[in-house]
Chains A and B, each alone.
Chain A
Amino acid sequence: MTTLQPPAAATRPPTGPSAKRDRRSWTGWGFIGPFAVVFAFVFLAPIAYSIYLSLFRDQLIGGNHFVGLDNYKQAFQDDQFWSSLERVSLFLVIQVPIMLGIALFVALALDSGRLFGRDFFRISIFLPYAVPAVVATLMWGFMYGTQFGLVGDINSAFDVTLPDPLSAHLVLASIGNIVTWEFVGYNMLIFYSALRVIPTSLYEAAEIDGAGQFRVITAIKLPAIRGALVIATIFSIIGSFQLFNEPSILRPLARNAITTDYTPNFYTYSLSFNGQQHNYSAAVAIIMGLITMVIAYVVQLRGMRKGA
Chain B
Amino acid sequence: MRRTTGRLLRGMALLSVLALGATACGGSDDDSSSSTKAVSAADIQAALKKGGSVTVWAWEPTLKTVAADFQKKYPKVKINLVSDRSGDKHYTALSNAIAAGKGVPDVAQVEYFALSQYSLTKGLTNLAPYGADKLASKYTAGPWNAVSDGDKVYGLPMDSGPMAMFYNKKVFDKYKIAVPTTWDEYVVAAQKLHKADPKAYIAADAGDAGFTTSMLWQAGSRPYKVDGTKVTINFEDAAAKKYTDTWQKLIDQKLVAPINGWTDDWYKGLGDGTIATLTTGAWMPANFVSGVSGASGDWRAAPMPQWTAGGKASAENGGSSLALPTLGKNKELAYAFVEYANAGAGIQTRVNEGAFPATKAEQQSAAFQNKEFPYFGGQKANKIFAESAAEVASDWSYLPFQQYANSIFNDTVGKAYISGTTLAQGLKSWQDASIKYGKEQGFTVSK
Q: Which A residues contact B (CB, under 8 angstroms)?
A: 1, 4-5, 32, 36, 40, 44-45, 48-49, 52, 59-64, 142, 145, 147-149, 167-168, 252-257, 259-261, 270, 273-277
Q: Which residues of B contact A142 (CB under 8 A)?
A: 264
| Contact partner, B8, options A32, A45, A254, Cβ 8 Å | A45
Task: Verify A255–B9 contact, CB threshold 8 A.
Answer: no
If A252-B260, A255-B410, A273-B88 touch, whether A148 touches B401 (CB-CB below 8 Å) is no
Task: Verify A60–B121 contact, CB threshold 8 A.
Answer: yes
Residue of B nearest to A255 (CB): B410
| Contact partner, B414, options A48, A60, A255, Cβ 8 Å | A255
> Please, how many angstroms separate the alpha-carbon atoms of A274 and B404 in the complex?
5
Task: Verify B263–A62 contact, CB threshold 8 A.
Answer: no
Please give the distance in Å from B266's CB to the nearest CB on chain A: 9
Residue of A nearest to B267 (CB): A148
Task: Verify B274–A59 contact, CB threshold 8 A.
Answer: no
If A1-B2, A252-B260 touch, whether A275 touches B414 (CB-CB below 8 Å) is no
Task: Verify A60–B206 contact, CB threshold 8 A.
Answer: no
| Contact partner, A256, options B268, B274, B410, Cβ 8 Å | B410
Task: Verify B24–A60 contact, CB threshold 8 A.
Answer: no
Task: Verify B415–A147 contact, CB threshold 8 A.
Answer: no
Please give the distance in Å from B261's CB to the nearest CB on chain A: 9
Task: Verify B404–A275 contact, CB threshold 8 A.
Answer: yes
Task: Verify A167–B418 contact, CB threshold 8 A.
Answer: yes
Q: Which residues of B contact A256 (CB under 8 A)?
A: 206-207, 410, 414-415, 417-418
Task: Verify A36–B1 contact, CB threshold 8 A.
Answer: yes
Task: Verify B408–A260 contact, CB threshold 8 A.
Answer: yes
> Please, how many angstroms separate the alpha-carbon atoms of A297 and B408 in the complex?
35
If A36-B4, A44-B5, A60-B117 touch, whether A260 touches B407 (CB-CB below 8 Å) is yes
Task: Verify B16–A49 contact, CB threshold 8 A.
Answer: yes
B13 within 8 A of A: yes
Q: Which residues of A contact B408 (CB under 8 A)?
A: 260, 270, 274
Q: Which residues of B contact A64 (CB under 8 A)?
A: 20, 24
Q: Which residues of A contact B417 (CB under 8 A)?
A: 256
B441 within 8 A of A: yes
Q: Which B residues contact A (CB, under 8 angstroms)?
A: 1-2, 4-5, 8-9, 12-13, 16, 20, 24, 88, 92, 95, 117, 120-121, 206-207, 229, 257, 259-260, 262-265, 268-269, 274, 400-401, 403-404, 407-408, 410-411, 414-415, 417-419, 437, 440-443
Please give the distance in Å from A74's CB to the nearest CB on chain B: 9
Q: Which residues of B contact A274 (CB under 8 A)?
A: 88, 403-404, 407-408
Q: 26 A-B Cβ contacts within 8 A?
A: A32-B1, A36-B1, A44-B5, A45-B8, A48-B9, A60-B401, A60-B442, A61-B443, A64-B20, A145-B264, A147-B268, A147-B269, A148-B265, A252-B260, A252-B262, A253-B263, A256-B410, A256-B417, A256-B418, A257-B418, A260-B407, A260-B408, A260-B410, A260-B411, A261-B411, A275-B407
> Please, how many angstroms separate the alpha-carbon atoms of A282 and B264 in the complex?
35
Please give the distance in Å from B325's CB to the nearest CB on chain A: 16
Task: Verify A147–B1 contact, CB threshold 8 A.
Answer: no
Task: Verify A147–B259 contact, CB threshold 8 A.
Answer: yes
> Please, how many angstroms separate the alpha-carbon atoms of A161 and B364 in the complex?
51
Residue of A nearest to B28 (CB): A63
> Please, how many angstroms separate the alpha-carbon atoms of A168 and B206 in the complex?
13
> Please, how many angstroms separate the alpha-carbon atoms of A167 and B258 in the complex?
10
Q: Which residues of B contact A276 (CB under 8 A)?
A: 95, 404
> Please, how many angstroms separate the alpha-carbon atoms of A40 and B7 in the complex?
11
Given contacts A1-B2, A273-B88, A274-B408, 4 further A-B contacts (CB under 8 A): A60-B401, A147-B274, A252-B262, A274-B88
Q: Which residues of B contact A167 (CB under 8 A)?
A: 418
Task: Verify A270–B407 contact, CB threshold 8 A.
Answer: yes
Please give the distance in Å from B232's CB to the nearest CB on chain A: 15
Please give the distance in Å from B244's CB to the nearest CB on chain A: 16
| Contact partner, B437, options A168, A252, A275, Cβ 8 Å | A275
Q: Which residues of B contact A62 (CB under 8 A)?
A: 442
Q: Which residues of A contact B415 (CB under 8 A)?
A: 256
> Please, how many angstroms separate the alpha-carbon atoms of A63 and B229 in the complex?
13
> Please, how many angstroms separate the alpha-carbon atoms of A238 and B263 in the complex?
32
Most chain B beta carbons < 10 A, residue from A32, A61, A260: A61
Task: Verify A255–B442 contact, CB threshold 8 A.
Answer: no
Most chain B beta carbons < 10 A, residue from A32, A64, A148: A148
Which 8 pairs between the two chains have the least Cβ-Cβ distance? A256-B414, A61-B442, A274-B407, A62-B442, A59-B442, A255-B410, A259-B411, A60-B441
